Amino acid sequence: MAGKLKTAVLGATGYSGLELTRILLRHPRLEKPVLLRRSVDNGSASDVASDLADVFPALYGNGGYPLHALSWAAMKQQGVELLFLATPHEASRALVPEALSHGLRVIDLSGAWRLKQEQHRAIYNFQDSDAVSAAELTEKAVYGLPELNGDRIAKATLVANPGCYATSVILALAPLLKAGVVDRNRGIVSDSKSGVSGAGKEPTAKTHFVSVADNLSAYSIFNHRHVGEIVEQLELGAAELMFTPHLLPIPRGILSTIYLHLNREMTPLEVESLFQAFYSGKRWVRVFQTPKLPQVQFSLQTNYCDLGFCLAEDGRRLVLISCIDNLLKGAAGQAVQNMNLMYGWSEDEGLL
C-alpha cells in the first residue's frame, strides 16, 4: 500500500526471525515484508526451503510466505528501505557493509556490530576483508537499547540489536549506576537463566531434550559473549561484574537475579522511586512495586522488561529481578521497537 514502509528479513527461518516476521506482518505501517534466504552450499533444510511454512508448518493456510534468494537488485526493485538481519554473527558482519552501500538502513539482531572495544569483540574472532571499513562501521553502529539510546537510534542507519541476557541485566542496573548508589568496589553478581530458544534453532548435544528436560545447567562461565555488551554499556570494569548464564528447561524467557551492595543506606521507597523516575515514559519497562517480584510467565509473549527488587533490612544489600521474553524484548520485539524509533513512530506500534 502507498505510504507504507517496505522491509525485508534475512533469517526468518530461525526462532527470532519467525517472531520478527509475525510482528512485521501485523504492523500497521508496513507492507508485507520480503523474506529472504541465504544461498549456501550443503545448507540445512531451512536454508533451501521455498516457503516459511515449509519450515514452520503452523503457518500453513495463510496465503504463503515465499522465501526469496538474497539479491540487492531485487530488493531495490521492490522498494525495500529497511533490512533486518536475523543471521549468524559472521554472516551479518559480512552483509552489513554491502547493505549500507546499497542505501539500506539495517537492524542487525546478531552480535556482529554491538561491541566497540576490541578485547570484547575478540570472542567472535571476526575476519574482516576490509578492516578499515569494518572499524568505521563499528563506530557508526548504534547499540539498539531504546531505553538508553533512543535519540541516537532515531538517526541511525545501522542499529545493533542487543543480546537477550544483556538487555535484562543492563536495564536492571542502569538506573542504579547512573545514580551512583552502587558500591562498585564490592562487585556485582548476575545469575541469569534462559529458556532453550536462546541457544538458537540448530540442535546441539546441550540443547537436546534429554539434556535439558528436568535439568538446570550453567555454561560459558567467565566467557559468555554478552558480558562485553554489559560492561561496555554500563561502563563497568571487567572485574566489577560476575555473570553466569544458566539453561532452563523451558522454551523461552529469561530471569536475571542480580546481587549488589549500595554505597549508602536506602529505603525501599527510595530505590523504587529511582527506578520509576529513570523509566518514566518508557513504554516497555514495568517496575514492580515492592515486595512484588517479576516472574518469567509475566513477560512471556510481550515486549516488556519487568523489574523488581528486594532490599535487605540493613538498607545496603540489594537483589534485583529482571525478566524478559528472550525472543521479543531480547530480540525481535526490541528490533521492531528500534524500527519504530528510526521512523518516528510510537514505540508500541505493532507490539501490542
Cell 521492531 maps to which residue?
336
Using DSSP, state whether 194 is helix, strand or coil: strand
Residues forming a β-bridge with 83: 8, 106
| CB-CB neighbours of 171 under 10 Å | 27
Strand order in the sheet with 158-160: 67-69, 34-37, 7-10, 82-85, 105-108, 158-160, 142-143
As given in the structure block, the three cell numbers for residue 8 are 525485508
The separation between CA 253 and the C-alpha centre of its own chain, rounded to angstroms, equals 12
The three cell numbers locating residue 123: 570472542
Asked, as a colleague might, if the bond just before 291 is cis with ω within 30 of 0, I would say yes
> Of 164, 305, 310, 323, which is the active-site residue?
164
- Residue 328: all three cell numbers together: 521479543
Query: Measuring CA to CA, which residue among 338, 180, 342, 190 is closest to residue 264?
Result: 180
- Whole-angstrom Cα distance, residue 189 to residue 258? 6
C-alpha cell at 230: 554489559
With b for 16 or more beta-carbon neighbours within 10 A and e for fewer, the 4-21 pattern comes to ebebbbbbbbbbbbbbbb
For 203, half-sphere exposure in the C-beta direction (CA atoms, 13 angstrom radius) is 6
Helix residue spans in 180-242 (DSSP H): 209-212, 226-234
164 a catalytic residue? yes
Q: Report, as residue numbers or ranges, the catalytic residues.
A: 164
